[in-house]
Structure 1
């Protein structure tokens, strides 16, 4: 063996035998997505001269699939926070200490598990969307989440459940303290959304727990306005029997539900139900328009006929003095014009 072979052999022997093995990194704060490791005490680095700033450190993490280690940190600091980890998952780390001469040694492996991810609003909203009452119960019982927490669109869980027609979920959330009259950014509450979607069982449940017919959204519309927009006859009938006012007006245009039917759908069945319940066929909005005028403008000939049969005044003029027949000749079909002309001849 020549000199260089002897020298290399001695270095190899020294690196494997003489370099002291450091203690494992100490585990600090552990969360569901991070683990703090540090190695800044004399005991861990005994034999290296812990005050020697020329020591270099490397933290290596085991790949659970290949059982090999890869560097996740290398430098001169004496602590490192491993981030971006999965919740409730074990991880294995070892410390590598490198002297200024290039000698190094590995510590024993330390195994650390991240904590369970804390419950949050997204867990509750996810359970509600899936109609998972048991899952929602687990989230709320954790104590980490409020029952009225909003999602990114400003909807509380109760509003989502009401909109989707999840009656059992609605009842559960209310019993857990959900506010039945809470509104979203547009001023709508759960009752309005349930009425628009036609979920009668949810409407009944919300009313039973204190939801009010008097609420208005930012546009001034009530739950009955939304029910007529959704064209749900059974819901509207139940609302009327539950003492919901049929001539309730919005705050902006002073439109009643009957006026809204004349403007949007022309639904004769809904209009008949409202009229039978006492809706005023000659009520005027902020601009002086009546339901008949609006129905004429939209060419809803069946609705025009219904309104005329139930006392709608065809001689009312708008704010500009224009008669309904004149409006019909500008906007409507021949059917509507004929209905009005025939009515005038009677």
Structure 2
């Protein structure tokens, strides 16, 4: 006897998730989330929360969290919403996530955390780096290549890092 199968989610429905978040098509997005759940994933394993983090949609991000979205969900490459904030240096989004129990030490497929990604994309602006560290991001976690975020910062931003550390000592 055949077992009943779960209905398949139409690929087109969730493929549009990124676009709906980016365009702020909130009515369509709400309908999609009502139909498939607040943590519905597209083909890359990304949720509306991840897309909202990437695009800097603070209000949507807060609304999704209120609806119960998982702040620590990781996509197919292991990126969480905090990783995606770090790609685009979205400090306000990161603050919302961190205030709602997002883990600043989740590791991607290369074992890099959001701090690593923030350092790679900071271009000398360390607001997000500082925020992540204030919320417990560990600069000494080694990735698959036995490199830490601290190693990366010393390579990329030695001068800026020294100045930042001096500021901390003066305070």
- Count matched residues: 160
Deviation (angstroms), 1:326: 2.0
Given that residues 284 and 290 in structure 1 are in contact (C-alpha distance below 8 angstroms), is that contact kept between their aligned partners in structure 2? yes
Q: CA RMSD in A?
A: 2.6
Is the contact between residue 53 and residue 81 of structure 2 (CA under 8 Å) also seen in structure 1?
yes
> Relative contact order: is structure 1 or structure 2 higher (C-alpha 8 Å, sep ≥ 6)?
2
Cα 1:222–1:281, aligned 2, differ >3 Å: closer, same or farther? same
Aligned-partner SS, 2:11: coil
Give the direction of change, closer, same or farther, for the CA distance of 1:342–1:324 in structure 2 (3 Å limit): farther
Alignment match, 2:83: 259
**Are the counterparts in 1 of residues 153 and 161 from structure 2 also a CA contact under 8 Å?**
yes
CA–CA separation in structure 2 for the residues paired with 1:254 and 1:309: 22
Residue in 2 that maps onto 1:281: 104
Aligned partner of 2:150 in structure 1 is 325
Residue aligning to 1:183:
11
Shift of residue 327, structure 1, vs aligned partner: 0.6
Q: Is the 8 A contact 2:104 2:115 kept in 1?
A: yes
Measure, in 2, the Cα distance between the counterparts of 1:257 and 1:289: 14
Is 1:245 the equivalent of 2:78? no
What runs of 5+ residues in structure 1 fail to find an aligned partner?
Answer: 1-180
Task: Indicate conservation of the 8 Å contact 2:118/2:128, yes or no.
Answer: yes
Describe the SS at the equivalent of 1:313.
Answer: coil
Q: Write the distance in 1 (CA, Å) between the matches of 2:40 and 2:166.
A: 41
TM-score calculated relative to the size of structure 1: 0.42
Report if aligned partners of 2:33, 2:40 keep a CA contact under 8 Å in 1.
no
Report the 3-state secondary structure (helix = DSSP H, G, I; strand = E; otherwise coil) of the residue aligned with 1:315: coil
Matching of residue 218 in structure 1 with residue 43 in structure 2: yes
- Match status 1:270 vs 2:98: no
Q: Which has the higher helix share?
A: 2
Summarize the alignment of residues 285-296 of structure 1 with structure 2, pairs less than 5 Å apart.
Answer: 285-296=108-119
Change in 2 beyond 3 A, CA 1:207/1:217? closer
Deviation at 1:341, TM superposition (A): 7.5
- Tell me, what secondary structure is at the counterpart of 1:194? helix
Give distance in 2, aligned partners of 1:273 and 1:338: 27
CA contact (8 A) 2:14 2:42 kept: yes
Deviation at 1:328, TM superposition (A): 1.1
- Per-residue Cα deviation, 1:95-124 (whole angstroms, up to 9, x for no partner): xxxxxxxxxxxxxxxxxxxxxxxxxxxxxx
Note the 1:307-326 alignment, pairs <5 A. Answer: 307-326=132-151
Structure 2, unpaired ranges of 5+: 1-8
